[in-house]
Structure 1
């Protein structure tokens, strides 16, 4: 405030050199309105936090739902191919002994496995006529077969590096039902089945395998045990390949030449599952949905911040006039309200982020979905809250610094 020669006070001239405020002083001034009007600040931050929480929730819950859906689609074989000789060939076509190992050399391939027909059958009892061929087919199996076909063990265990060398078998789901061994009772002596002239111990029963119905109807014996006990020659009948979904078409093209270089034309490869197209369409649809929901939530949050700060400027005109009369220039007034806007957005962003993450995890858990809260989306939501708060506070802060001290003190 300056005093004229007549003794009257005159407002400070903005052309005079202002006192430069340190960043800490600007921050304290920005927090002044929050400290003195705690209820209004809390309600304002609550509105902002609800907007940010909504943004995280509308991204996190659909993302969790998408992940659950994609997992279900992946279980339908979106990354799995099956290579086998063409049927009804004379003489029958046989894949090389190391066909699955050869397929594993293809770059995008992540896993290979194989089964082979041993031309043996299972009989539940030695009372059945040995010439009766109505028994269940016996397939030699690699120890990693379940990983290749997305299979699961219902009871017991699957073949491993130890049991595949001994006379043990695992029953497919339908095979177990037909033999009366649909489950294995823990603590009891495991049942046995007769293959040829030798008894094999049942160590496991599988769940249904939608990707490999032939496995459901078969009895699986270890690769080495089939060689030793059943005279198996080591040539696989079916090779299962899992690969990166993005490269499944290219792998399908080279797979026949890889597993049977001498006669690739006599090898048939299953086409990618129809679920792969559905999965890709789902990913694209959800991506567009996420962007739209995030944009709407940020827009609503920004409008809320701008409205809050605009009302704050109108309510505090006399405070602004008093500060101007005491020597604060327009830039300092603008800095005060802009800092308050960013501080409110930061507090609301922190609370909204915590609320959104907790709500997303809780809802995903209630639906038995995998909870998906991307750190990137959380950071984007929090950073977006601060950015939106800064942008939304620009006009109110400019308006706050526009009136002269006399106009602000008079409330006009």
Structure 2
């Protein structure tokens, strides 16, 4: 090959000049293939690196999921014990005399925004006996009350035997016995009868003991309609039970009295929130802080593992880097190659880790009989965070590789 060079000094050019060809430049597709080539060739190191990332993300998902499942189980138990339950009942007037709630008290209380459920009972003067031959003074101190159909669900009560009041109970003389009432009457199974107000009533169910409303345990419950029709109840609520948003129980308490009895709010007695509500708030706060702390540790460990892997990879591949630089690869292309490798390792490890963590949560929650709760956001964010951490952790090794001088790198060949 012949070529004419430009004279070193001034003077006219005497012949054609052939310029040296530009160094080869990698296209974006080539850079992408180069970035994924390393993990495919060095499979063992790639698998170990991805495993480290997967364990970090699995720990993140597992900690979050187990904490969420535990929190859901604990909050359900606290709510079952009455952390968000309030009662509104008639108080006393200025003269110390008993009062009654207005007939519209239930409807008015149900209109409070954070109130989720409202139910009530109405008292009667009737007495209950095992047989009509029992002495009138041997009623055992039991009370006969009319109950709304949603009373059992609002109080989180359970039927020990038989069934609860339903639509048919409003047309038939039937009752359900509280736990203590059944024991006092010597009954353990439904299907028998009790004597109330000179009439027989069939026992269709017996309730388990209820810690939220012990007054229900010593009650004989019939439909609200039958209590008004047969036992001459005045039809006003003697106790109203409210289930409120757990985060707004105190706000509901502050307005419940005035809402139930606007004309005389002081005549409505509202129970104070249970100490369980405070325990509920502290539990939620403590578990959230624990999840954040453990998740941060898991991400830190995963990031350190990726960074260590990438630094070692740069040191091992000095010759390859020098050769590629001498063939025309630019510093940006070298840096991009290592960043792509870090992102691939992070993504693969993140996906595997999310699946492992989810399996761990489902297994542990099933073993503990907890609700299986895994926030969907963590399943989506986990792999994305792993990729982001991989890129951040691989940034320094990538810059170091791109700044490596070709002559220095070629010495290791």
| TM-score scaled by length of structure 2 | 0.90
CA-CA distance at 1:131 after TM superposition: 5.0
Residue equivalent to 1:13? none
Deviations along 1:118-148, one digit per CA (max 9) or x if unpaired, are: 1112111122124544352111101111122
Residue equivalent to 2:337? 336
Question: In structure 1, how many angstroms separate the alpha carbons of the residues matched to 2:125 and 2:175?
Answer: 15
Q: Secondary structure at the match of 1:67?
A: helix
CA-CA distance at 1:228 after TM superposition: 2.0
CA-CA distance at 1:173 after TM superposition: 1.3
Question: In structure 2, how many angstroms separate the alpha carbons of the residues matched to 1:128 and 1:78?
Answer: 41
Does structure 1 retain, via aligned residues, the 8 Å contact 2:116–2:244? yes
Q: Secondary structure at the match of 1:373?
A: coil
Alignment of 1:236-315 (within 5 A): 236-315=237-316
Instruction: Indicate yes or no: 2:131 matched with 1:125.
Output: yes
When residues 135 and 277 of structure 1 are mapped into structure 2, their CA distance, relative to the original with a 3 A threshold, is closer
Question: In structure 1, how many angstroms separate the alpha carbons of the residues matched to 2:177 and 2:274?
Answer: 26
Instruction: Indicate yes or no: 2:47 matched with 1:29.
Output: no
Q: Secondary structure at the match of 1:155?
A: strand
Instruction: Indicate yes or no: 2:227 matched with 1:226.
Output: yes
Does structure 1 retain, via aligned residues, the 8 Å contact 2:23–2:328? no
CA-CA distance at 1:292 after TM superposition: 1.0
Question: In structure 1, how many angstroms separate the alpha carbons of the residues matched to 2:318 and 2:245?
Answer: 63
Residue equivalent to 1:55? 60
Q: Secondary structure at the match of 1:116?
A: strand
Instruction: Indicate yes or no: 2:406 matched with 1:402.
Output: no
Residue equivalent to 1:369? 370
Question: In structure 2, how many angstroms separate the alpha carbons of the residues matched to 1:390 and 1:156?
Answer: 63
Residue equivalent to 1:391? 392
CA-CA distance at 1:323 after TM superposition: 1.6
Alignment of 1:207-226 (within 5 A): 207-226=208-227
Gaps of 5+ in 2: 6-21
Deviations along 1:45-85, one digit per CA (max 9) or x if unpaired, are: 11110111011112221221122111111112121110111
Question: In structure 1, how many angstroms separate the alpha carbons of the residues matched to 2:349 and 2:96?
Answer: 75
Instruction: Indicate yes or no: 2:164 matched with 1:158.
Output: yes
Q: Secondary structure at the match of 1:393?
A: helix
Residue equivalent to 2:88? 83
Moved over 4 A (4+): 87-91
Instruction: Indicate yes or no: 2:43 matched with 1:38.
Output: yes
Deviations along 1:152-187, one digit per CA (max 9) or x if unpaired, are: 222222112331332111111111222233344xxx
Residue equivalent to 1:174? 180
Q: Secondary structure at the match of 1:64?
A: helix
CA-CA distance at 1:90 after TM superposition: 6.0
Residue equivalent to 2:110? 104
Does structure 1 retain, via aligned residues, the 8 Å contact 2:331–2:403? yes
Q: Secondary structure at the match of 1:369?
A: coil
Q: Secondary structure at the match of 1:119?
A: coil
Q: Secondary structure at the match of 1:411?
A: coil
When residues 47 and 409 of structure 1 are mapped into structure 2, their CA distance, relative to the original with a 3 A threshold, is same
Question: In structure 2, how many angstroms separate the alpha carbons of the residues matched to 1:34 and 1:133?
Answer: 83
Question: In structure 2, how many angstroms separate the alpha carbons of the residues matched to 1:151 and 1:320?
Answer: 72
Does structure 1 retain, via aligned residues, the 8 Å contact 2:128–2:142? yes
Tell me how large the CA RMSD over aligned residues is: 2.0
Question: In structure 1, how many angstroms separate the alpha carbons of the residues matched to 2:341 and 2:186?
Answer: 74
Does structure 2 retain, via aligned residues, the 8 Å contact 1:78–1:245? yes
In our comparison, the structure showing a higher alpha carbon Rg is 2
Question: In structure 2, how many angstroms separate the alpha carbons of the residues matched to 1:154 and 1:194?
Answer: 22
Question: In structure 2, how many angstroms separate the alpha carbons of the residues matched to 1:106 and 1:165?
Answer: 32
Gaps of 5+ in 1: 6-15, 185-189
Question: In structure 1, how many angstroms separate the alpha carbons of the residues matched to 2:330 and 2:140?
Answer: 98
Question: In structure 1, how many angstroms separate the alpha carbons of the residues matched to 2:57 and 2:194?
Answer: 62
CA-CA distance at 1:404 after TM superposition: 2.1
Q: Secondary structure at the match of 1:69?
A: helix
Question: In structure 1, how many angstroms separate the alpha carbons of the residues matched to 2:114 and 2:291?
Answer: 29
Greater displacement, 272-281 / 324-333: 324-333
CA-CA distance at 1:17 after TM superposition: 6.7
Question: In structure 1, how many angstroms separate the alpha carbons of the residues matched to 2:105 and 2:48?
Answer: 68
